[in-house]
Structure 1
């Protein structure tokens, strides 16, 4: 999912609503000799272990490589920028071209959504399309690790990856010192003040630390969990922490935030509690969520002193 067009990102996230490094451990694991096919996941039956996979989801791409299915991946979409060895192409996940995808002769295509009839178009070539929607909770992310493992012949690795990621996240949260007082935060998706409520994947990750999300307001479900706030609302809420998920795409940092009109009065700015995040890690449900949780833990620890 692109981070270069923040507003488009928010709209896509709304539609999708209608890391120790566990990936290293999983990728080094022995092949799952117990995997058997056919495998049915949802409405899709995969007849045999896929050997030519096309991934149209950055989150799925990261997970496939974490599972050890990297050698089976022949192409990934233009936004799948991790890991470096993924076979990057110009394929679009936002407006997928069935003909361009079919040119890679895939036996399995993994996508985060199908709003353009992609599955039906590819079915004519005998290609199966597995839709793995953006996870809305950590539990959903863990489940998708398992499902991708089953779909690719790496069931044991998928289960191991889910267990290890869950354990790492739980441990980091448990080891994070509790603030002496409740802390509030503002999570920024872009410079037009789009944010994420506690009903979203990222919102639920942050909620694990007992933080109050100023974007929730009276209805955390508003705008599919991705409301656009106003500068006035943010200033009035005066959050204790500010998390920036628009650092790589938009060059935002503590200095640019502090230079915004009136923002130098925010508690988070005055106390040095503006925390930049890696845009991509913060927008994906991949195993690298452990890195995100670790970054939030460090911020909470710093702000809670």
Structure 2
């Protein structure tokens, strides 16, 4: 999913309640009438789902990772084509960008999880009484933790979800504490080889901000919503201390490739080991592997200081 978009709001923890189940004869959830349900507050409102859904469909790579990390993997029957982690995830041709209600309903889900309401898919599924949790891209760390908590509550794995978020918090705090503030260091985060980047106001930019790094893309971010496209001349003039490549998979970029770009071999980061090759997926998702992204930044900061 590229790039990470700043959508969504803080998700409050829901409460357990009893309500009429969401089943139906029209290909809906399949939950039994009067079954115990859990109400979760998501971006699409208060959503009632079976207390222990058995047929979950995920249309978000981030949420797929979360479901498996909190132990709900066995309950997942289908995920979208971009959900490539973990390997055990049941990938299909389903799309979160061009969702097809009929194709989703064919899996007889009792819960659908997604991060974007593309083409009115939420209402389309709600019409046939399929519970849908809309958990948009997190705008900050707290929202990322809240969404993991939401999925834990919705799937009957609340304790496991808390364990995951507690571990993430501890790992991130440890990494940041071990890396001295790098206020004098500048960086460039590359989304693709067309020089699209992120500004400090994005989720990704905020992660870098924890280390005190200065983002060279901020001055170029005017009307691009946090994702400016830099010119080669501008980037060469800025000469960042660190270059983070989040396009190693999509665009085949690496440290060696940068030396072939006109003028790039003269950059300080390229000449002195300041190029960091990131995993595209880890750098663009706000789920359980976020601590790995933070660790990659922390290691780079310590290396150059």
What is the distance in 1 between the residues matched to 2:223 and 2:200? 11
Q: Residues 210-264 of structure 1, C-alpha deviation per residue, up to 9 Å, x if partnerless?
A: 1000011175x74221111111110111100100000011111111112111111
What is the distance in 2 between the residues matched to 1:98 and 1:173? 43
Bigger RCO of structures 1 and 2 (CA < 8 A, at least 6 apart): 1
Structure 1 stretches lacking a partner, 5+ long: 2-8, 19-35
What is the distance in 2 between the residues matched to 1:80 and 1:153? 22
Secondary structure at the counterpart of residue 230 of structure 2 = coil
What is the distance in 2 between the residues matched to 1:178 and 1:38? 43
62, 86, 91: which one aligns with 2:89: 86
Runs of 4+ residues deviating >3 angstroms: 13-18
102, 106, 111: which one aligns with 2:109: 106
Q: Which has the higher helix share?
A: 1
What is the distance in 1 between the residues matched to 2:214 and 2:140? 17
- TM-score, with structure 2 as normaliser: 0.86
In structure 2, the CA distance between the partners of 1:45 and 1:14, relative to structure 1 (3 Å rule), is: closer
Q: Is the 8 A contact 2:99 2:118 kept in 1?
A: no
Verify: 1:129 aligned to 2:132, yes or no.
Answer: yes
Q: Is the 8 A contact 1:186 1:214 kept in 2?
A: yes
What is the distance in 1 between the residues matched to 2:186 and 2:103? 46
What is the distance in 1 between the residues matched to 2:250 and 2:90? 22
Q: Residues 126-145 of structure 1, C-alpha deviation per residue, up to 9 Å, x if partnerless?
A: 20111110112111111111
Structure 2 stretches lacking a partner, 5+ long: 10-35
In structure 2, the CA distance between the partners of 1:235 and 1:98, relative to structure 1 (3 Å rule), is: same
1:227 corresponds in structure 2 to 228
Secondary structure at the counterpart of residue 264 of structure 1 = helix
Larger Rg over CA atoms: 2
- What is the correspondence of 1:9-20 to structure 2 with a 5 Å cutoff? 9-10=2-3, 13-14=4-5, 16=7
Q: How many residues align?
A: 276
Q: Is the 8 A contact 1:41 1:151 kept in 2?
A: no
Q: Is the 8 A contact 2:80 2:95 kept in 1?
A: yes
Secondary structure at the counterpart of residue 139 of structure 2 = coil
Secondary structure at the counterpart of residue 189 of structure 2 = strand
- What is the correspondence of 1:134-213 to structure 2 with a 5 Å cutoff? 134-179=137-182, 182-213=184-215
1:240 corresponds in structure 2 to 241
1:255 corresponds in structure 2 to 256
What is the distance in 2 between the residues matched to 1:190 and 1:218? 16
Shift of 1:51: 1.2
1:25 corresponds in structure 2 to none
What is the distance in 2 between the residues matched to 1:262 and 1:38? 57
What is the distance in 1 between the residues matched to 2:5 and 2:168? 26
Secondary structure at the counterpart of residue 146 of structure 1 = helix
